[in-house]
Amino acid sequence: MSTLDQIPLTQLKGVGNKLAETLSKLDIYNLQDLLFHLPFRYEDRTKFIPLQHFRAGMHGLFEAEVVSHRVVYGRRRSLEVIVEGGHSRVTLRFYHFSAAQTRLLGTGALIRCYGEARLGKTGLEFYHPEYKVVNPDEPHEIPDRLTPLYPLTEGIQQGRLRTLTQLAVKWLDRSEVPDLLPASVRNEFQLPELKKALHYLHSPPTDADQEALLNGSHPCQQRLILEELLAHHLSLMKLRTSMRSQAALACPLNLASTQAIDQFLGSLPFSLTSAQQRVQQEIQTDLSQPIPMLRLVQGDVGSGKTVLAALCALQASTAGGQVALMAPTEILAEQHAQNFKRWFADTPLRLAWLSGKTKGKKRQQVLASILNGDVDIIIGTHALFQQDVHYHRLALAIIDEQHRFGVHQRLSLKDKGLNAGIVPHQLIMTATPIPRTLAMSAYADLDTSVIDELPPGRQAIETFALSDARREEMVAKVRSVCESGDQAYWVCTLIEESETLQCQAAEDTATWLSESLLGLTVALVHGRMKAQDKSLVMEAFSAGRIDVLVATTVIEVGVDVPDASLIVIENPERLGLAQLHQLRGRVGRGNKKSYCALMYHPPLSENGKERLKVMRESSDGFIIAEKDLELRGPGEVLGTKQTGLIDFKIADLQRDQGWLETVKQIAPLISQPEAIIQRWVGQSQKYAEV
Ligand code: ADP
Ligand code: MG
């Protein structure tokens, strides 16, 4: 007997290639897919509701007789049909209607209707209800189960999809659909068997708990939700296992590396916080193994992630491996390059720089030195992992400030160690804390370390919001801050998603500010500038030779200038919370009292107000990340590119996060992980072959 996932849709009566093609847009390719395409709502069409029982907001089925109908010419033309049932009258209103329809709904016609009652011009009204003119002598033919409503796509209607699904349900009875959840798990959580759950969800009895069905808490749904979350988890674990089954360069803590590390630590003007020490140890242990490290380091803005990067780079290069350190922007990569150059000045380590802007002969030279093993630590942007970059012996890849570094990108790193027959250790350091639910689902294949402590002496950043009508006041504030010896950022954020416009706005602002702030040095940095010009400006700002830096979001992550104590952010209402938190984190990096001005453009939407309020009230990246998730959803927080990871059919991360812990625990009990992955992640499993 073939299993349902082997039976193509065209086996169903009336499904040809064209319809099959339409259904593929819903990711439905076979009978199993059809059965796992679940209703989002149900309607009770099993009994008639007397008209007088309807209240606004109620859905239901009723029978009534047409009393009169007319076309009304208001702001919009509509067909108004007055019907009577029992002793009540209500109005059916149609904004789209045909002459035939008007005729059919003539006085005296008996109609059967399903719709939602609303309060309209004439009292209770039904807008565009589904209806049928019936013959009073014919027997009533009404369903005895709730009617499911499915997500649709263009080219298929509700009724058609419902019929197809019912056909698939019939196949369900005579086929083998293995229940992939162990009975022990089902029993523990009192979840129904798979077949039963599917039956139930496609045609629930009339006494079903509709509220539970609507909010996804019905045991039949929960059973499937658990299975789906499990499927995603298992697919990430599969990825992890396959990665970890390969060899990495073991970088032991021996005399040489310990000495190098101690020397480096001794040269720092501070000692590590205990959180940094703990995370450092976790990384060290990983690195000393001959198995690739897969570690995510989460730490709030300013928690001191860069020194940890340096420490593990030191350990790996002392063991004779190459290290690649990637930052998301050129400015940040450049800053790292400067820091590393200074930190490693007294070591034999050789540093190299590579960005997308490294071109021509210079690029050839750098590529050759990477390939020949003439350099130890290579710092740069995404360019580091492009196809034409071949490493001599890549032992460790550090991805800084990049929580959107998804599965595909992680996978692409695997090949970068090929020359030496190793898979590089991976250290991913997040730009902002990731909400726990996302970390547990989208990054289940990584081990996590958390730096849950800021270096001593940091003061909370005072955050306030003001309308951009008060721009002049801000200028005065900038002046007073700079005259007291501090520095300020003035950030021009997105204008219509266009980088060119953003840069233009920054240029205009810089001109205007330098006129308004005579006596102070105002400079500009944006993405369209030459790399060299950018780094000159950043260096000057860093060295205190510039008072006010007007910038686009190029300074969003990582930039570290401890003397800056004021940041003005324009149009904060357009940015996500995590992004605002990151921008704000450019100040408050030393021991100075710092300020963040959110200069919005009124009027603010409700959501915009809410977001600015969160920023004013919280400085904790973990709380802000949770809020961000709540207000914007996982797709935005994780980046659209990664949504494939969290694109669930039935589960909802926010709603169903309670399962994540269980998922982790029961994953090892699953005897056929591959089957669950195939069932749920199936066609969309773009990262299947590893
Ligand atoms: P982030 O976690 O945002 O990447 P950085 O690594 O840029 O933070 O560190 C922020 C600032 O704090 C830097 O100036 C860094 O030198 C400093 N710093 C890092 N660790 C400590 C520490 N343990 N004590 C004092 N200052 C520290
Ligand atoms: Mg950083």
Structural domains in the chain plus CATH codes: 47-142 (2.40.50.140), 255-451 (3.40.50.300), 461-618 (3.40.50.300)
DSSP 470: G
Residue entry with tokens 């009124």: 602
From residue 366, alpha-carbon distances to 315, 400, 415 in Å are 23, 21, 19
Contact 459/596 with Cβ under 8 angstroms? no
DSSP 454: P
**Residue-level pLDDT at 274:** 97
Question: 276, 279, 307: which to mutate for ligand 1, most atoms within 8 A of CB?
Answer: 307
Half-sphere exposure of 215 (CA within 13 A, CB side): 6
The residue whose C-alpha atom lies closest to atom 3 belonging to ligand 1 is 302
Contact 581/624 with Cβ under 8 angstroms? yes
Amino acid at 641: K
Half-sphere exposure of 549 (CA within 13 A, CB side): 34
From residue 53, alpha-carbon distances to 58, 85, 144, 243 in Å are 9, 11, 21, 63
The mean of the pLDDT values for the chain is 90
Long-range contact set of residues 608-616: C-beta below 8 Å, sequence gap at least 24: 608/573, 611/572, 611/573, 611/577, 611/580, 612/465, 612/572, 612/573, 614/577, 615/463, 615/465, 615/572, 615/577, 615/580, 615/581, 615/584, 616/463, 616/464, 616/465
Burial state string for 72-96 with b = 16 or more CB within 10 A and e = fewer than 16: eeeeeebbbbbbebeebbbbbbbee
Beta bridge partners of 118: 125
Question: What residues are in contact with ligand 1 under a 6 Å CB criterion?
Answer: 270, 272-273, 276, 299, 301-307, 455, 558, 560, 562, 589
Query: CA–CA separation, 551 vs 502, rounded Å?
Result: 9
Ligand 2 geometric centre to CA of 336 (Å): 9
Residue 41, classed as helix, strand or coil, is: strand
Of 39, 30, 219, 236, the C-alpha closest to 677 is 236
Q: Is 16 exposed, middle or buried (0-12, 13-18, 19+ CB in 10 A)?
A: exposed
Q: Return the minimum-mean-pLDDT range out of 38-42, 320-324, 477-481, 649-653.
A: 649-653
Contact 377/316 with Cβ under 8 angstroms? no
Query: CA–CA separation, 400 vs 326, rounded Å?
Result: 6
Ligand 2 geometric centre to CA of 302 (Å): 7
Query: CA–CA separation, 479 vs 517, rounded Å?
Result: 7
Ligand 1 geometric centre to CA of 253 (Å): 24
> Please, what sign has the CA dihedral across residues 53, 57, 58, 63?
positive
Residue 682 has pLDDT above 70, yes or no: no
pLDDT 10s digits, 395-418 = 999 999 886 777 777 878 888 888
Ligand 1 geometric centre to CA of 523 (Å): 25
Amino acid at 350: R
Mean pLDDT for the stretch of residues 73-79:
88
CA of 274, nearest ligand number: 1
pLDDT 10s digits, 341-380 = 999 999 999 999 999 888 899 999 999 999 999 999 999 9
Confidence of residue 689 (pLDDT cuts 50, 70, 90): very low
Mean pLDDT for the stretch of residues 90-97:
92
Ligand 2 geometric centre to CA of 47 (Å): 63
Q: Is 644 exposed, middle or buried (0-12, 13-18, 19+ CB in 10 A)?
A: middle
The residue whose C-alpha atom lies closest to atom 26 belonging to ligand 1 is 455
Residue entry with tokens 């938190």: 581
Amino acid at 342: R
The residue whose C-alpha atom lies closest to atom 20 belonging to ligand 1 is 304
Residue 141, classed as helix, strand or coil, is: coil
- Is pTM, for the whole model, over 0.85? no
Query: CA–CA separation, 8 vs 28, rounded Å?
Result: 10
- Say what percent of the chain tops pLDDT 90: 62
Residue 50, classed as helix, strand or coil, is: coil
Confidence of residue 569 (pLDDT cuts 50, 70, 90): very high
